[in-house]
Amino acid sequence: MDVDVSANVASVERALDRLRARGHRVTGARHAVIEALATVDGHPSAEQLSEQVRELHPTVHRATVYRTLETLATLGVVTQVHVGGSATTYHLAGDATGHDDHLHASCRVCGRIIDLPSDLLDPIKRRLADESDFQLDPPHIALSGTCRSCQ
């Protein structure tokens, strides 16, 4: 079996195991969305995922994909990333992929989303907690700026 396929299968299984361990059902739609997320590179939008799910599982309706993404994000299996001025994007949560969670930056010019180290904003998180009693949740929002290629 190809290494990428093996990693995808492992990611799907970890995500499904996480659902089961928390007492949630593994529905056909949940399996289809998780499988699509494991096979798509980058940070796809709900529309892109809907198209991928349709290719893999033609009977799963687009509205079901959107509802399932919301549910999986609430359950912590999927991470939503809100990109300023555009659609929300998604990826499997770190414990499903076997990688650490990460932060995101979005280029205002080309729209590319860049993965950043998860601890990058730790000093800011601590300062906000200490001075403003505010708990920052940075993995769900993309920092906005201009990538090297567009500068």
- Which residue ranges are tagged as binding site for Zn(2+)? 107, 110, 147, 150
Please list the residues that pair with 79 across neighbouring strands.
91
Identity at 66, one-letter amino acid code: Y
- Rg of the chain in Å (alpha carbons): 16
Using DSSP's 3-state secondary structure scheme, residue 61 falls into: coil
The token pair that represents 104 in the structure block: 């995101």
* Annotated binding-site members: 107, 110, 147, 150
Q: Contact 138/102 with Cβ under 8 angstroms?
A: no
